[in-house]
Structure 1
Amino acid sequence: MSSTKNVLAIVMAGGEGSRLHPLTAERCKPAVPFNGKHRIVDFVLSNLVNSEIYSIYLLVQYKSQSLIEHIRQSWTMTRFIPQHFVTVVPPQMRNGPEWFQGTADSVYQNIHLIESFRPDIVAVFGADHIYRMDVRQMIDFHVKNDAHVSVATIPVKLAECNQFGIVETDDNHRITDFVEKPQTTQPMPGSSTHALASMGNYLFNADVLLDALRQAHETGHSDFGKHILPAMLRSHRLMAYDFDTNTIPGTEPYEEHGYWRDVGTIDSYYNAHFDTLGATPRFRMTNRHWPIYASPDQAESAQIENGVIHRSVVGSGSIVDGASLDHAMLRRSVVVERDARLEHCIVMERSRIGRGAQVRRAIIDQDNDIPAHERIGFNLEEDRKRFHVTESGIVVVPRQFFKPQSLQAPTASIGLARPSLPQPSDASGMKVAA
Structure 2
Amino acid sequence: MDSTCTTLSGHLGKVSEGIGRNRRSGFWGESTKGSVSTRFLSAQSCKSSRGNRNLRNSKHGTRIAHAVLTSDINEDSMAFQGVPNFETPKVDPKSVASIILGGGAGTRLFPLTSRRAKPAVPIGGCYRLIDIPMSNCINSGIRKIFILTQFNSFSLNRHLSRTYSFGNGMTFGDGFVEVLAATQTPGEAGKKWFQGTADAVRQFIWVFEDAKNKNVEHILILSGDHLYRMDYMDFVQRHVDTNADITVSCVPMDDSRASDYGLMKIDKTGRIVQFAEKPKGSNLKAMHVDTTLLGLSPQEAEKNPYIASMGVYVFRTETLLQLLRWNCSSCNDFGSEIIPSAVKEHNVQAYLFNDYWEDIGTIKSFFDANLALTEQPPKFEFYDPKTPFFTSPRFLPPTKVEKCKIVDAIISHGCFLRECSVQHSIVGVRSRLESGVEFQDTMMMGADYYQTETEIASLLAEGKVPIGVGENTKIRNCIIDKNAKIGRNVIIANTDGVQEADRAKEGFYIRSGITVTLKNATIKDGTVI
User: Shorter-chain TM-score: what band?
Assistant: 0.7 to 0.9
Letter in 2 for 1:91: A
Letter in 2 for 1:106: A
Tell me which of 470, 487, 503 is aligned to 1:371: 487
- For 1:316 and 1:233, locate their aligned partners in 2 and report how far apart those are by CA, in whole Å: 48
- For 1:263 and 1:42, locate their aligned partners in 2 and report how far apart those are by CA, in whole Å: 13
Letter in 2 for 1:388: Y
The Cα shift of 1:404 comes to: 9.2
- For 2:510 and 2:157, locate their aligned partners in 1 and report how far apart those are by CA, in whole Å: 29
Show the 5 A alignment for 1:225-264. Answer: 225-244=335-354, 258-264=355-361
The Cα shift of 1:3 comes to: 4.4
Deviations 1:309-352 (A, max 9, x none): 11112222210000111112111111100011011111122241
Deviations 1:166-206 (A, max 9, x none): 11101111000111111123322143443101101111001
Match of residue 75 from structure 1: 164
- For 2:498 and 2:332, locate their aligned partners in 1 and report how far apart those are by CA, in whole Å: 43
- TM-score normalised by the chain length of structure 1: 0.86
Percent of aligned pairs with the same residue? 30
The Cα shift of 1:4 comes to: 4.7
- For 2:122 and 2:440, locate their aligned partners in 1 and report how far apart those are by CA, in whole Å: 19
Match of residue 71 from structure 2: none
The answer to whether the Cα contact below 8 Å between 2:115 and 2:152 also exists between their aligned partners in 1 is yes
- The alpha-carbon distance between structure 1 residues 167 and 87, as it changes in their structure 2 partners (threshold 3 A), is same
Unaligned runs of at least 5 residues, structure 1:
245-257, 406-434
- The alpha-carbon distance between structure 1 residues 297 and 4, as it changes in their structure 2 partners (threshold 3 A), is closer
- For 1:385 and 1:126, locate their aligned partners in 2 and report how far apart those are by CA, in whole Å: 29
Q: Secondary structure at the match of 2:358?
A: strand
Letter in 1 for 2:434: E
Match of residue 90 from structure 1: 181
Unaligned runs of at least 5 residues, structure 2:
1-9, 11-89, 293-300, 448-466
- The alpha-carbon distance between structure 1 residues 163 and 105, as it changes in their structure 2 partners (threshold 3 A), is same
Match of residue 520 from structure 2: 400
- For 1:132 and 1:25, locate their aligned partners in 2 and report how far apart those are by CA, in whole Å: 28
The answer to whether the Cα contact below 8 Å between 2:487 and 2:524 also exists between their aligned partners in 1 is no
Residue 17, structure 1, aligned to residue 133, structure 2: no
The answer to whether the Cα contact below 8 Å between 1:346 and 1:363 also exists between their aligned partners in 2 is yes
The Cα shift of 1:390 comes to: 2.9
Deviations 1:110-137 (A, max 9, x none): 1111111111101111111000000111
The Cα shift of 1:395 comes to: 1.2
- For 2:328 and 2:158, locate their aligned partners in 1 and report how far apart those are by CA, in whole Å: 31
- For 1:216 and 1:28, locate their aligned partners in 2 and report how far apart those are by CA, in whole Å: 31
Tell me which of 105, 109, 131 is aligned to 1:42: 131
Q: Secondary structure at the match of 1:96?
A: helix
- For 2:524 and 2:181, locate their aligned partners in 1 and report how far apart those are by CA, in whole Å: 33
The Cα shift of 1:382 comes to: 7.6
Tell me which of 164, 188, 202 is aligned to 2:289: 188
Deviations 1:346-374 (A, max 9, x none): 11222411100000010011111111110
Residue 272, structure 1, aligned to residue 272, structure 2: no
Residue 322, structure 1, aligned to residue 419, structure 2: yes
The Cα shift of 1:85 comes to: 1.4
Show the 5 A alignment for 1:156-167. Answer: 156-167=253-264
Residue 134, structure 1, aligned to residue 235, structure 2: no
Residue 104, structure 1, aligned to residue 198, structure 2: yes
Show the 5 A alignment for 1:139-154. Answer: 139-154=236-251
Show the 5 A alignment for 1:343-362. Answer: 343-350=440-447, 351-362=467-478
Show the 5 A alignment for 1:293-304. Answer: 293-304=390-401
Q: Secondary structure at the match of 1:27?
A: coil
The answer to whether the Cα contact below 8 Å between 2:438 and 2:473 also exists between their aligned partners in 1 is yes
The answer to whether the Cα contact below 8 Å between 1:156 and 1:197 also exists between their aligned partners in 2 is yes
- For 1:306 and 1:207, locate their aligned partners in 2 and report how far apart those are by CA, in whole Å: 62
- The alpha-carbon distance between structure 1 residues 217 and 149, as it changes in their structure 2 partners (threshold 3 A), is closer
Tell me which of 511, 514, 519 is aligned to 1:390: 511
- For 2:273 and 2:514, locate their aligned partners in 1 and report how far apart those are by CA, in whole Å: 40
The Cα shift of 1:141 comes to: 0.5
The answer to whether the Cα contact below 8 Å between 2:228 and 2:356 also exists between their aligned partners in 1 is yes
Match of residue 405 from structure 2: 308
Q: Secondary structure at the match of 1:261?
A: strand
- For 2:385 and 2:110, locate their aligned partners in 1 and report how far apart those are by CA, in whole Å: 33
Q: Secondary structure at the match of 1:147?
A: coil
Match of residue 210 from structure 2: 116
Q: Secondary structure at the match of 1:240?
A: strand
- TM-score normalised by the chain length of structure 2: 0.71
- For 2:279 and 2:140, locate their aligned partners in 1 and report how far apart those are by CA, in whole Å: 33
The answer to whether the Cα contact below 8 Å between 1:130 and 1:263 also exists between their aligned partners in 2 is yes
Show the 5 A alignment for 1:216-231. Answer: 218=329, 220-231=330-341
